[in-house]
Structure 1
């Protein structure tokens, strides 16, 4: 049932946000020269998929988890995109393609071994990763792998249609701080 919601909302979201996507794409060309950021992430059943986002950091920034990245690598426009969470809009394509859900554990990188181990033990990879979820609205990021895995597991076990919409609405109205970057 949630997959049906995902597909319908992804299509509607892409259609409604098309003007915003085009504007961000144009500004992004002037900001970094390459406004789309694609990165391999861990998906359902630990299968790789290509996550799509708007680029918020300089093009030559090393590929690490956000909490390990330097704030100096974030562009001014990228900072705005992160704070407004608009950098996540292209993930609607991932949701439409079935790589992600609106609600689920945030997809991590394959080099985040401690998080992968913790999530593996709690069967977090049995579900599709999501754009948002319980950890995100509570500001729990990948710098606390054990807590994140436990929060993801709890969310998965207790996810209902009501909570699915609650997490989306709370994210849309500003709950959670987005990807954490060290100053």
Structure 2
């Protein structure tokens, strides 16, 4: 019990100054410009990929939608719909409760390597992170940034401590330090620490490095599933 209390005290001392985080106006403006340019350019250049993936999804499951939208939690706890290419069966959400006991990731996340809800094309687009590409529309809308912490689900945030909630101090991203540092090989606490490291040290140069690493991972996939 004493060790747990000491850990909580140490985390309280490490809380990030919210005012300082959002005071970098020059960086935030440059980041938004980079987001818009990157998202528009990405959609234009990747349009053939969008079309091919959409066709493959429809060929495997003609009755299901191409895109999947899900409520996520953004900056300051704001709800928004995040878009993806559908990589799972249509009733995936209804089947989740039956799979929670097989969770392979610690903390307030759910991941299993051999998820039975994943479609054949879904396994490929998840492995290569192609399923995330529709989030470029979220970037244009301003719900997300190209780089930032992964936007959590409402049920995940319900389990957050005050320390974990710091992930919501900034706009969530399509990719981030966690995604390029091991992703599913890392636990929840490690993800939080990586996100907070990014929030404390973020800069345009840091964002560009993460984007370049993300492109490399899309070409040569890491542990995504």
* TM-score bracket relative to the smaller structure: 0.7 to 0.9
Residue number among 207, 210, 215 corresponding to 1:164 in the alignment: 207
Matches within 5 A, 1:21-100: 21-32=50-61, 33-62=64-93, 66-67=110-111, 71-100=115-144
1:101 to partner: Cα distance: 0.5
Deviates more, 1:96-105 or 1:58-67: 58-67
Residue number among 12, 23, 48 corresponding to 1:19 in the alignment: 48
Residue number among 144, 165, 174 corresponding to 2:187 in the alignment: 144
1:114 is aligned to 2:159? yes
Number of matched pairs? 177
2: CA distance, partners of 1:116 / 1:8: 35
1: CA distance, partners of 2:128 / 2:211: 15
Q: Deviations over 1:61-82 (max 9, x none)?
A: 1275551585111111001111
Deviates more, 1:34-43 or 1:135-144: 135-144
So what's the TM-score if we normalise by structure 2? 0.72
Over 6 Å off, 4+ runs: none
Paired residue secondary structure (1:111): helix
1: CA distance, partners of 2:186 / 2:90: 23
Q: Deviations over 1:68-105 (max 9, x none)?
A: 58511111100111112110110100011111001100
1: CA distance, partners of 2:72 / 2:159: 15
Paired residue secondary structure (2:154): coil
Unmatched tracts of structure 1, length 5 or more: none
Q: 1:111 to 1:142 in 2, by over 3 A?
A: farther
- Is the contact between residue 75 and residue 168 of structure 2 (CA under 8 Å) also seen in structure 1? yes
**Highest CA radius of gyration, 1 or 2?**
2
- Is the contact between residue 118 and residue 146 of structure 1 (CA under 8 Å) also seen in structure 2? no
So what's the TM-score if we normalise by structure 1? 0.88
Q: 1:176 to 1:115 in 2, by over 3 A?
A: farther
In structure 1, the partner of 2:19 is none
1:129 to partner: Cα distance: 0.4
In structure 1, the partner of 2:20 is none
